[in-house]
Amino acid sequence: MKVDVIDLNGNVVKQIELPPIFSEKVREDLIRRDFLAIMSKKRQPYGTDVFAGLRTSAHYHGKRRYRWTMMNREMARLPRLHGDIPIQQLWRARRVPQARGGRRAHPPKVEKIWEEKINKKERRRAVRSAIAATIIKEFVEKRGHKIEDLKVFPIVVSDDLQKISKTKELRSFLEKIGLKKELERIKKKKVRAGKGKMRGRRYRRKVGPLIVVSKDEGVSKACKNLGLDWVLVKDLSTEHLAPGGVPGRLTIWTESALEYLKKKR
C-alpha cells in the first residue's frame, strides 16, 4: 500500500510504500490485554498497618474458675477491656473483627501481587495490531478524533517535522493539514468527579494525536503546550498507540520512522 508524504506546508512531495506491519490484523483483545499488563506494573502496593485494631489492653475472660470470668454471665466470650479504665468502657469488646474498633477480618496486604503477565509473542503482536489500527479510519473516528477535514490520511510527514521546536510552528502545520478541530477538541478540560480532585488529578483532557519520530531534534519542546504526545519509534508500545486499551489513536508518522519499521518489525 502506497501513501503520500507531505511537507510542513501540507503539500504532497512524494509517495512511499508502507511497511508490511501495517497489514497486520487488528486484535483488540490482545491490545487491551497488553495495555492492562503495562498499567499493572505501575500500580503501587498498598495495605493496612499490621497492628491496626490490635493496640488495646483487651484480653480474654472466657476461662472457667477465674476471678473475672464471663462464664454464666450472659456475655459473649470475647476479648474485653478490664482494669483501670473509665466505667463507660468496662467490658467493651475489642480486637476481634466483629467488635467496634477491632481489626479487619481480611485487610488489603502489601504482599499481594498486582502485576499481570503476558507472553512475549502476544505482546509483540499487540503492538503490531495497534500500529496497524492507526491507519484505519474507522478505528480513528471511533476514538473521537476530528479528522473530517484531513487532506491526507494516514499522515506521513517528511523528517523536517522532527526539527520543529516552537509550538506556534507545530500548531500552524497541524492547522494546514486539517487538524484545527482536533486541536480545539483536546484544548478543553473538565473537572474530574470524586476525590481525584484532591489527589493531583483535578482535570481530565481528551487524548490528542501522537507524533512518532526516529530522532528528537526539538519536536518534544513544541508538543508541550498543545496537548500532543511524541515518542521515538523504537519505544512504541500499546500505551502510546492505544490509550485506555482502545486502538485507533490519530498518529503522525515521520518518513524515517516508517523506514525504521521496515527494518526492525
For 220-265, the pLDDT digits (tens) are 888 888 888 999 999 999 999 999 999 999 999 999 999 999 887 5
Domain of residue 73 covers 44-113
Residues 148 and 240 in one domain: yes
Phi, psi torsion values for 28, nearest 5 degrees? -65, -30
Does the predicted TM-score (pTM) go above 0.75? yes
The count of structural domains within the chain is: 2
State what percent of residues in the chain have pLDDT above 90: 66
Q: Which residues contact 13 (CB under 8 A, 6 or more apart)?
A: 5, 6, 7, 158
| Mean pLDDT (whole number) for 133-139 | 93
Rounded to whole angstroms, the Cα distance separating 168 from 177 reads 15
Domain assignment present for 223: yes
Q: Of 78, 97, 113, which residue is a domain's last?
A: 113
Torsion of CA 27, 28, 30, 34, to 10 degrees: 140
**Domain check: are 239 and 204 in the same one?**
yes
Contact 162, 216 (CB under 8 A): yes
95 lies in the same domain as 186 = no
Q: What is the CATH number of the domain that holds 10?
A: 3.40.1370.10
Same-domain status, 13 and 93: no
User: Are 144 and 217 within one domain?
Assistant: yes
Last residue of one domain, picked from the residues 62, 87, 113:
113
Q: What is the pLDDT of residue 2?
A: 87
pLDDT at residue 119 above 80? yes
Cβ atoms of residues 171 and 182 within 8 Å: no
Q: Are residues 149 and 257 in the same domain?
A: yes
The reply to whether 170 falls in a domain is yes
pLDDT tens-digit profile of 52-87? 999 999 988 888 888 778 888 888 888 999 888 888
Residues 167 and 49 in one domain: no
- Check whether residue 162 and residue 223 sit in a common domain: yes
My answer on whether 81 and 209 are in the same domain is no
Question: Is 37 domain-assigned?
Answer: no
Amino acid letter at 32?
Answer: R
In this structure, the answer to whether residues 78 and 141 fall within a common structural domain is: no
Cell 477491656: give the residue: 81
Which amino acid is residue 4, in one-letter code?
A: D
